[in-house]
Structure formats: structure tokens, C-alpha cells
Amino acid sequence: MRRYTSLLLTAFLLFILVVAGSAYFAGAGHDDRTRPLREIVVYTTLPAEHAAILTNAYEQSHNVRANFVPLASEELLKRLQKQAEGDENGAAAMVLADKDTLKKAAVAGYLTPYLSEAGDQVPESFRQQDGYWIGVWYDPIVFCVNKDYLLTLPLVPDTWKELAAQPKVRIGITDFLAADASANLFMSMLAQFGDVATYDIWRQIHPKVVQYARYLSNPVRQAGMGEVDVAIAVESEVIRYMQGGYPLKIVYPADGTAALVAGTGIAYKAKAADTVAAKEFADWLLSDEAQQALQKQDFYFVPTNPGTMAYKSFAGKNMLLFDQPVNFTAQQRHDFLDRWVKEVRFK
């Protein structure tokens, strides 16, 4: 009887150990899924929606949370300055921002260089040669043409001068004063073509503009609905509407175009452990996984990394981009826009 009692007691104890062990490992696995191993702070000028998509995707795949802090360019630079001049390591590990902001931060000494195998694949035109910042994707301005209008054309205008000279065309565009992408186009044309040629182009385009929209999506919607014949718009919005079944065709300006470039930089005086995590996140942003996360939510940007499948899938990946740097001061930008308003927009 004692023998059976001992066997039963041993079996009961083994059962308790198995149950306890299962509960422990199940709990440990649950903790890994719900609690990130590390959190890093990322300053960004990107829209909050883009940041949310990226941080959710990265946390799920890498168990690291990127806490994005959306900031205007000037405020972002002020915070980086404060961190760089502080005696202790600061909170921000990384910056994900537009190219102009990154260039200013690099020149001011607010970033630290980072070179990687992934970043080395990016063309030199999209990165700072010493590694202070690197572009991860860009969104070019294109001609978004209604397909019914295309059928009426013997020759499709594919340069800025040809579009400006096109007779009886209805054009949609976002106001230069309403969106950074639109203002960037105007400033880039001034740098590339000079002020005389640029103002001449827009003087010819202005009478054909049906509406100066406030949002980047409106001109594309107008072209898709046949309210305008050609929209001057960011490619990401055009692809989004094309995916929705709108009858549109993209024409890439043969004489070049502007693009908003988004890129990364590692913050100066970030904590050492955070810097390591930030570098890994920066490399991930150059991957197909990051682009897939964005595309699942209908955001279609051109990757700068030619080694990705996402890059190879873009028909216009070899488009000609303006190559003249836009180095205008804030006052010069104001004066150029003021002149456009007076001599073109409201004349």
C-alpha cells in the first residue's frame, strides 16, 4: 500500500511541476508579446499616421517600440540643439524627417554619422557621404493624366514647358502656400531653371488651373473624376487613387521633377544602448518590410534602396529628379512666394 501511495504522490508532484512550468513559460511568452524589450525616442516631421504604421509594424517584428514625437522642423532642430549642448545624454535616439531638416541638423552638429551595409546601397544623391543622414524613401511630383483626356491627344506633354504651352487643358494643383510638397516643387524649379524661366512657366499654367487645392489629394481626385485633365501631384496620391480604380495615368516629366525625401539620422549624445537600437531601426526602414507596412495602408513611396523588391516594382524608379540644391534662405523663400502671389496667383 505504501508503494502505491508513494507512486501516487510522485505522480501528483510531477503533475504540479508540469502545470507550473507550462504556466511560467506561457506567461513569459505573453510578456514578450505585450512588453517591448526596448523603447527609443524618434523625433519626426512625418505625419503622425505614417509614424504609427511604422512603429506598430516594427514592434510586432522586432519587439522594440519606436516612440515617435511629431515636431515642426524648427522645433525639432531646437530640441536636437538642446540635447547636443547638454552635459548628459539626451532622450532622442534618432530623427526621421525631411531632407532639408536633416541637412540642417547635420551641418549644425546635431547628428552622429552611421554607415551600414544597407545604407551603402543607397545612391549618393540620397545620402550624406559621411553618413550623417540617409534617405529612406521619396515622393516625386508627377503629371497625373485622365485617361479619357489622353485619348484626345496626338502627343502627350511630358515636360514642364510642354504642359505650360498645352492648349485647352484643365489643370489641378495644390496651392504653393498650402502644402510643403507643392512649395518644394516651386523652389526646386527656381533652383533648376532659374527665376525667369520658372515664373514664365507658371504664368502660362495659371490661366488653365481650375482650382488651387488645399490638400495634396484633391487634384488627383479631380483628375480621376474628369473635373480636370491633368493634375500636378505627388506620386503616392496618384498610385493610391489608381489602386482604387480611377482612370489615371502617370507621366514623369522628362526634364526633371522635384521630390520630398524622407530620411534618418542618429541623434548626437543619444544613450549608447538607444543608439544601437536606433541603427537597427534605421536599417529596417530601408527594407521591404517597412515599405510593405506602408503600402498595406495605401501609402506608396519610392524606396531609395535599389536592392528591395519594392523599388524594383515602381515603374518610374528611373525618373529624372532635379539635381540643383535648393539653398534659399527663409527670407528668399518668402520673397519668391510673395512674388508668385502678386505676379501670377492673383494677377
Dump pLDDT digits (tens) for 248-303: 999 999 999 999 999 999 999 999 999 999 999 999 999 999 999 999 999 999 99
Model confidence at 313, pLDDT cuts 50, 70, 90, reads confident
Does 32 or 175 have the greater pLDDT score?
Answer: 175
Label each residue of the chain as H, E or C.
CHHHHHHHHHHHHHHHHHHHHHHHHHHHHHHHHHCCCEEEEEEECCCHHHHHHHHHHHHHHHCEEEEEEECCHHHHHHHHHHHHHCCCCECEEEEEEEHHHHHHHHHHCCEECCCCHHHHCCCHHHECCCCCCEEEEEEEEEEEEEHHHHCCCCCCCCCHHHHHHCCCCCEEEECCCCCHHHHHHHHHHHHHHCHHHHHHHHHHHHHHEEEEECCCHHHHHHHHCCCCCEEEEEHHHHHHHHHCCCCEEEECCCCCECEEEEEEEEECCECHHHHHHHHHHHHHCCCHHHHHHHHHCCCCCEECCCCCHHHHCCCCCCCCECCCCCCCCHHHHHHHHHHHHHHHHCC
Rounded to two decimals, the pTM is 0.86
